[in-house]
Amino acid sequence: MKGVSYNSFGGSEVLQYGDLPEPKLSQNTVIVRMKATAINPADIALQAGSGESLMETWFPVVPGWDIAGIVERVGAGVVEFHPGDEVIAYMHQEILHSGTYAELVSVPVERLWRKPKNVSWGEAAGLPLAGLTAYRAVSDALRVSGSDIVLVLGASGGVGSLATQLAVMSGATVIGSASALNQTYVKSIGAEPVLHGDGVAEHIRKLAPGGVTAIVDCAGQGALAKAAAAAAPGARICSIADGGPGVTTVFARPDTGVLARLVDLVEAGSLRITVAASFALADAAIAQDALKARTCGPGKIVLVPEVP
């Protein structure tokens, strides 16, 4: 099978596209033919070696944690899924080795859920990691309710756009920071847009004179520090990128119960996944560079086996 791997830490230049061994099928795994996988900032950070002190690494590493695809084979102990089923999964593992930038992926059955019926493969691949992270931020870490004024920093990104929509669904008033090009998009998903960068706290205070009661930082790169003056006394703050005193750090966690709820919201038309761009699997390095450059517009960047 074809896939993308790397044999040493580094940037996009270490990625190699070529033939890889097909994954093995064990009793409680499922072989999924990848139809789309998402590019995530975590892929790039771990590939650069940022997790070397936290996670074992077995080279060569196939990056990627999101997958949408079709079941090809099931293990002897699997009764929940069958060949031909359309599925999604969040494939996070504590060892860097087997990921989703490949035509075939062996997925533990407990990580799988059915693909939303009403979206494309690329949209489906953009849901697992981003959706689980957004849900943990909005519902678990901050427990957002209708009485809140919520600030989402990086509201047009993969996680930020879903966090914005989940906060809006909770009944909260939502303010979302984004670049000038993405202001209209942020408004389309239910938030009041503000320009990110210097002066953002003053712009937010014009919309919420008393300050925001909850902040979800999906932007990183110092965005939280620039917006801190817009927080009301006692505001709850979480971040998927930057830590600090009083800030709860949020990471995605495999949870098919939550994934099932997210799929239901997508199928009901309440949660919208946006694909910023699609690249062929062979162009994974170009796709990673596009994510780092932030030039593709709102939503997720995804890889597909071949671009039509």
CATH for 2-127+273-304 is 3.90.180.10
In the predicted model, is pLDDT for residue 288 greater than 80?
Answer: yes
What is the percent of the chain with per-residue pLDDT over 70, rounded to a whole number?
Answer: 100
Q: What confidence tier does 308 reach under pLDDT thresholds 50, 70, 90?
A: low
Residue indicated by tokens 């071949």: 306
Residue 131 in contact with residue 43, Cβ under 8 Å? no
Angle, in degrees to the nearest 10, between helices 256-267 and 128-135: 100
Please name the amino acid found at residue 91: M
In the numeric block, which tokens belong to residue 269? Answer: 């038309």
Q: What is the mean pLDDT of the chain?
A: 97
In the predicted model, is pLDDT for residue 49 greater than 70?
Answer: yes
CA distance 183 to 193: 6
Write the pLDDT tens digit of every residue in 115-157. 999 999 999 999 999 999 999 999 999 999 999 999 999 999 9
CATH topology match: 2-127+273-304 vs 130-249: no
The mean pLDDT of 27-48, rounded to a whole number, is 97
In the predicted model, is pLDDT for residue 307 greater than 80?
Answer: no
Per-residue pLDDT, 82: 98
Please name the amino acid found at residue 103: E
Per-residue pLDDT, 83: 98
Write the pLDDT tens digit of every residue in 232-262. 999 999 999 988 899 999 999 999 999 999 9
The mean pLDDT of 6-10, rounded to a whole number, is 98
CATH superfamily of 130-249: NAD(P)-binding Rossmann-like Domain (3.40.50.720)
The mean pLDDT of 182-211, rounded to a whole number, is 97
| 25-29, 160-164, 194-198: the lowest-pLDDT one | 194-198
In the predicted model, is pLDDT for residue 280 greater than 70?
Answer: yes
Tell me the C-alpha to C-alpha distance, in Å, between residue 272 and each of 66, 265, 275: 17, 9, 10
In the numeric block, which tokens belong to residue 24? Answer: 């093995």
Per-residue pLDDT, 299: 97
Q: What confidence tier does 294 reach under pLDDT thresholds 50, 70, 90?
A: confident
The full set of domain ranges for the chain reads 2-127+273-304, 130-249
Q: What confidence tier does 295 reach under pLDDT thresholds 50, 70, 90?
A: confident
